[in-house]
């Protein structure tokens, strides 16, 4: 899709900011309503594959008789055993299973065997916000409906912890590096990239798996419906995407294939009393990220917006983009048309969509993309990506 960004007020030209060292994206693992892998997402974005909207594919419990709203996007034919085997998966919830599957797909795409010692020091940084809302809701419900509050399923408790997914990914894949979970709603993954950048720059890690995860469940789906925050017809979705990230210069010296470079990642927060300032805050965030990347706004050729379908936020995001990029045509890749509103996984799937788009189009040199996000909580964020094939 190509949109014309009509110029409004330009961001004031400011002095250059210190450049940051580029990070290399060297592998990816994507599990989405389009299917497993980046190729499936690329086909769905091109319109040659349909995303799954069959709510019957989501296993529901007896306490969830109301099912799901009509507009949903579900990871099709998903079985965690297909990715990690059956042993030890009985008590895993869907959020954890999606994260584990994405990590397994990433390891496969990187050509790393399960017992590869070179991955032992790798860490995990994940955007997950609340962990599994379904697990937390069901556990809380059991304290009311069981004969005694303490007669709950103890095996279900670990799934209620926000960082359960991150910990399980590390345990299952033998990753002993940094283990962090970032809570930030629709900007959670972009916050995770910023955290990862700082950790790598400070020498606290050599390689990190960075991304986001969100499951579809009745609690979140009906919650979105009750808030009225989604534009009519916008589906609620799910998915997980992880990316292996390391210092770009070190990756190239080691002969590692670089799929993309993260040039900068900036975040900001707008207090509730000044929420009309979301447009300006995001515009400043984008401008700051471009300056720290050493990239001029005129070089941006692709935008992956994060506020599609979010009432009151989509307009603010588009105004911020117009303010920075000016009066010219900029191509957009709208991943939510395929995966729906995936909340914590939004940013991860936006990054995946950029890689999928570049994968299917010939490189003509210097391809730069913006990944943007903002949430009702006042968080705004921007990621600057450069196609690795152009270096």
- If you write DSSP's letter for every residue of 126-171 in order, what string do you get? EE-TTS-HHHHHHHHHHHHHSSSTT-S-GGGGGGGSTTHHHHHHHH
Q: Examine the fold and report which residue of 201, 233, 253 is the final residue of a domain before the chain moves on.
A: 253
Q: Considering only residues 35 and 11, tell me which one the structure prediction assigns the higher pLDDT.
A: 35
Residue range 233-245: average pLDDT?
95
Task: Say yes or no: 176 and 90 in one domain.
Answer: yes
* DSSP annotation string for 107-138: HHHTT--TT-GGGTT-EEEEE-TTS-HHHHHH
Count of CB atoms within 10 A of residue 167's CB? 17
Is 296 in a helix, a strand, or coil? Answer: coil
The Cα 75–Cα 349 span in angstroms is: 13
Task: Assess whether 278 and 382 both reside in one domain.
Answer: yes
Please tell me whether residues 299 and 370 are part of one structural domain: yes
Tell me, yes or no, whether 212 and 108 share the same domain.
yes
Q: Which of 256, 200, 193 is nearest to 385 (CA)?
A: 193
State the pLDDT at residue 15.
58
Q: Which residues contact 381 (CB under 8 A, 6 or more apart)?
A: 184, 187, 190, 191, 194, 265, 266, 267, 268, 285, 347, 372, 373, 374
- How many structural domains is the chain composed of? 2
Rounded CA-CA distance 215/98 in Å is 8
Tokens of 132: 């599994």
Instruction: Provide mean pLDDT across the span 125-149.
Output: 78
Residues 59 and 166 in one domain: yes
Contact 75, 33 (CB under 8 A): yes
- Lowest average pLDDT, out of 34-38, 53-57, 182-186, 370-374, goes to 53-57
Per the prediction, the chain carries an average pLDDT of 87
**pLDDT score for 11:** 46
Asked which of 231, 253, 275 is the last residue of a domain, the reply is 253
Distance CA 158, CA 93 (A): 10
Integer Cα distance of 286 and 10 in angstroms: 12
Tell me the mean pLDDT in the region 282-306. 95
Same domain, 108 and 161: yes
- The domain boundary, picked from 194, 223, 253, lies at 253
- Cα-based angle 166, 172, 175 (whole degrees, multiple of 5): 65
Mean pLDDT, residues 127-150 taken together = 76
Which pTM does this prediction carry?
0.91
Claim to verify: residue 132 and residue 225 sit in the same structural domain: yes
Residues 163 and 40 in one domain: yes
Distance CA 342, CA 89 (A): 24
280 and 167 fall within a common domain: no
Measured CA to CA in angstroms, residue 9 lies from 13, 67, 344 at distances of: 12, 46, 31
Kindly report the CATH number assigned to the domain that includes residue 117. 3.40.47.10
- Are 242 and 127 found together in one domain? yes
Is the pLDDT at 104 greater than 90? The verdict is yes
Do residues 76 and 213 share a domain?
Answer: yes
Evaluate if residue 9 carries a pLDDT over 50. Answer: no
Assess contact for 286 and 324: CB atoms under 8 A: yes
Domain that holds residue 140: 24-253
pLDDT of residue 7: 35
Residues 265, 249 share a domain: no
CA distance 262 to 244: 11
């Amino acid at each position: 899709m190509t949109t014309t960004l009509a110029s409004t007020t330009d961001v004031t030209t400011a002095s250059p900011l210190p450049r940051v060292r580029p990070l290399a994206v060297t592998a990816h693992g994507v599990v989405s309503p389009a299917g497993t892998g980046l190729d499936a997402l690329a086909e769905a974005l091109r319109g040659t594959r349909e995303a799954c909207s069959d709510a019957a594919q989501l296993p529901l419990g007896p306490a969830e008789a109301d099912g799901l709203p009509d507009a949903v996007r579900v990871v099709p034919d998903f079985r965690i055993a297909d990715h990690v085997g059956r042993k030890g998966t009985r008590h895993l919830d869907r959020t954890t299973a999606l994260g584990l599957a994405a990590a397994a797909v990433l390891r496969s795409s990187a050509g790393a065997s399960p017992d590869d010692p070179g991955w032992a020091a790798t860490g995990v940084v994940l955007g997950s916000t609340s962990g599994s809302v379904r697990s937390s809701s069901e556990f809380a419900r059991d304290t009311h409906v069981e004969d005694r509050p303490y007669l709950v399923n103890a095996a279900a408790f670990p799934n209620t912890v926000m960082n359960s997914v991150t910990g399980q990914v590390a345990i299952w894949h033998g990753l002993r590096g940094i283990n962090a979970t970032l809570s930030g709603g629709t900007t959670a993954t972009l916050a995770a990239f910023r955290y990862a950048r700082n950790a790598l720059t400070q020498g606290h890690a050599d390689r990190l798996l960075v991304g986001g995860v969100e499951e579809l469940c009745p609690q979140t789906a009906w919650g979105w419906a009750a808030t009225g925050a989604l534009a009519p017809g916008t589906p609620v979705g799910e998915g997980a995407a992880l990316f292996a990230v390391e210092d770009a210069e070190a990756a190239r010296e080691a002969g590692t294939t670089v799929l993309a470079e993260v040039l900068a990642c900036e975040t900001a927060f707008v207090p509730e009393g000044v929420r009309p300032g979301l447009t300006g805050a995001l515009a400043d965030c984008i401008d700051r990220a471009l300056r720290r990347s050493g990239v001029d706004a005129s070089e941006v050729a692709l935008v992956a917006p994060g506020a599609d379908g979010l009432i009151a936020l989509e307009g603010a995001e588009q105004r911020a983009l117009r303010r920075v990029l000016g009066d010219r045509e900029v191509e957009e890749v709208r991943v939510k048309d395929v995966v729906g509103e995936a909340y914590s996984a939004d940013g991860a799937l936006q990054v995946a969509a950029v890689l999928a788009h570049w994968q299917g189009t010939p490189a003509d040199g210097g391809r730069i993309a913006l990944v943007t996000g903002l949430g009702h909580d006042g968080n705004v964020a921007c990621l600057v990506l450069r196609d690795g094939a152009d270096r």
